[in-house]
């Protein structure tokens, strides 16, 4: 069914209801301002939201975050929860890049003191020492036994190998590892693709960015997160690389030919019961791939620490590159939420969305209990990125979920066409942003104009009370695959 914005009913300045109709089993809810809504209406996002609302066993509303755009099956920026018995799990509701996620590290360094040759030297050293690009391998090739351990232990495997400290794990979502991982449910092809990619950045929208805390909005929360104006910070955005992509591909194919699976009109939404044989296998393989991604970002963090120490001639204590937080984007998790006045467990699918726990949640580290979870929302290479904090209202209304980034405003092919003949490196340098990219094509695909304005996106989350502003960072130097 084709959905247009005239079908939406405005609830307030930031909420737009898609009323239940047709085959929908629940309402849809779009979080956006008027400008973002107009952009969203130009692709198939609303049609995909309708399709999600038709899936069996859906609990609560089908949600689209303000960075939403058309994806595979679910819209990117889509959130939906399902009953463990009557509901479903859908690979299209998680995505190909399982646990594509982001982490933020703070430092003890003043960004202004790193300007000029020191910053150039550092970003050049990082570009040379951090594996990035399509198919690019990591610092070590893992045998099957070690790879299985990575998929079981997540970031704890890296810490056990000296790639970080136990304190890092405290500031990772789920402690840096999803439960229920089953490496035996991961195909040999997926393992082959992941064997050499632990500790690598990848390509596409993945990046490593050095930035400066340009503005603090919420002083108590910023202090809890260890952030202050003028401080150098580092963002790392990466996922499960070829291993996760293959897991998604494998199970889309398996479910596609499973007569007992759920086969909606949109074949990209093929799904299965969580308790079915294929459902259990997919969830085990998905968690294994998510743990590979947690480990990947942990290894990248330690590579950043080592290279920065060597390049700047500073020891770990002087650098102070401590983890603020690490959050997953593309996962399905069994979580406990209040739904219609009662506590229940649901399978929450976050596809291009991030968790946003409010103050006092038992899963938060002690130092964040009073303020809520750091919600990390990176932007594009040329504008800002934001740190927000989760709220109790998000727990009530969005299954503790928030936007995860700026969200694409144009396709990669459109961006490449727009970038023809332009010297994007020089354009960004004119804004005092150093960029190191493995290919000009990737740089064009990821140009700032290819994305929505992240300031608008976080403005919706803040205005709606679902995640509130803590700090803004501005990019100084960026590495793209």
Boundaries of every domain in the chain: 5-480
Distance CA 124, CA 157 (A): 28
Q: Which of 3, 56, 5, 57 is nearest to 35 (CA)?
A: 5
CATH fold group of domain 5-480? tRNA-splicing ligase RtcB (3.90.1860)
Distance CA 245, CA 179 (A): 20
What are residue 460's phi and psi, to 5 degrees? -70, -45
Annotate 366-400 with b (16+ C-beta within 10 A) or e (fewer).
eebeebbbbbbbbbbbbbbbbbbbbbbbbbebbbb
pLDDT, position 444? 83
pLDDT, position 67? 96
In a 10 Å sphere around its CB, with 0-12 CB exposed, 13-18 middle and 19+ buried, how is residue 430 labelled?
Answer: exposed
Along the 481 residues of the chain, how does pLDDT read in single tens digits? 688 899 999 999 999 999 999 999 999 999 999 999 998 888 999 999 999 999 999 999 999 999 999 999 999 999 999 999 999 999 999 999 999 999 999 999 999 999 899 999 999 999 999 988 776 666 778 999 999 999 999 999 999 999 999 999 999 999 999 999 999 999 999 999 999 999 999 888 899 999 999 999 999 999 999 999 999 999 999 999 999 999 999 999 999 999 999 999 999 999 999 999 999 999 999 999 999 999 999 999 999 999 999 999 999 999 999 999 999 999 999 999 999 888 999 999 999 999 999 999 999 999 999 999 999 999 998 899 999 999 999 999 999 999 999 988 888 888 888 878 788 888 888 889 999 988 788 888 888 888 889 999 999 999 999 999 999 999 999 998 7
pLDDT, position 136? 62
The helix-helix angle for 277-312 and 241-256 (nearest 10°) equals: 170
Residues recognised as catalytic: 404
pLDDT, position 138? 65
């Amino acid at each position: 069914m084709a959905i247009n914005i005239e079908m939406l009913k405005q609830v307030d300045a930031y909420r737009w209801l898609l009323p239940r109709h047709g085959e929908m089993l629940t309402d849809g809810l779009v979080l956006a301002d008027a400008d973002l809504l107009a952009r969203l209406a130009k692709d198939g996002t609303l049609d995909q939201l309708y399709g999600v609302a038709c899936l069996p066993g859906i609990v609560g509303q089908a949600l689209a975050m303000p960075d939403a755009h058309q994806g595979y099956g679910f819209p990117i920026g889509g959130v939906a929860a399902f009953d463990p018995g009557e509901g479903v799990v859908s690979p299209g509701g998680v995505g190909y890049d399982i646990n594509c996620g982001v982490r933020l590290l703070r430092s003890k360094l003043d960004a202004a003191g790193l300007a000029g040759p020191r910053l150039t030297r550092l970003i050049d050293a990082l570009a040379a020492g951090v594996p990035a690009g399509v198919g690019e391998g990591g610092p070590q090739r893992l045998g099957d036994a070690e790879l299985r351990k990575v998929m079981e232990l997540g970031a704890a495997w890296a810490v056990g190998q000296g790639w970080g400290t136990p304190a890092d794990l405290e500031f990772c979502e789920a402690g840096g590892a999803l439960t229920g991982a089953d490496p035996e449910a991961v195909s040999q092809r997926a393992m082959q693709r992941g064997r050499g990619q632990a500790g690598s950045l990848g390509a596409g929208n993945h990046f490593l960015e050095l930035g400066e805390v340009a503005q603090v909005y919420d002083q108590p929360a910023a202090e809890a997160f260890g952030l202050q104006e003028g401080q150098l910070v580092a963002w790392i955005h990466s996922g499960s690389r070829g291993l996760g992509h293959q897991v998604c591909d494998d199970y889309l194919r398996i479910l596609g030919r499973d007569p007992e699976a759920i086969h909606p009109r949109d074949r990209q939404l093929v799904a299965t019961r969580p308790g079915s044989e294929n459902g259990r296998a997919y969830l085990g393989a998905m968690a294994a791939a998510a743990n590979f991604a947690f480990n990947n970002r942990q290894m990248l963090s330690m590579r950043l620490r080592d290279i920065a120490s060597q390049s700047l001639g500073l020891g770990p204590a002087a650098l102070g590159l401590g983890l603020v937080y690490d959050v997953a984007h593309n996962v399905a998790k069994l979580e406990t939420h209040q739904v219609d006045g009662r506590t229940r467990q649901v399978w929450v699918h976050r596809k291009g969305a991030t968790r946003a726990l409010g103050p006092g949640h038992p899963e938060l580290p002690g130092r964040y209990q009073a303020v809520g979870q750091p919600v990390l929302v990176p932007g594009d290479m040329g504008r800002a990125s934001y740190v927000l904090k989760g709220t109790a209202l998000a727990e009530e209304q969005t299954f503790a979920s928030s936007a995860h980034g700026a969200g694409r405003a144009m396709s990669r092919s459109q961006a490449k066409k727009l970038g023809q003949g332009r010297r994007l490196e020089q354009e960004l340098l004119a804004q005092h942003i150093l960029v190191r990219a493995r290919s000009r094509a990737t740089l064009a695909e990821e140009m700032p104009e290819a994305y929505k304005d992240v300031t608008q996106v976080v403005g919706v989350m803040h205005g709606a009370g679902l995640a509130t502003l803590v700090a803004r960072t501005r990019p100084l130097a960026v590495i793209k695959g």
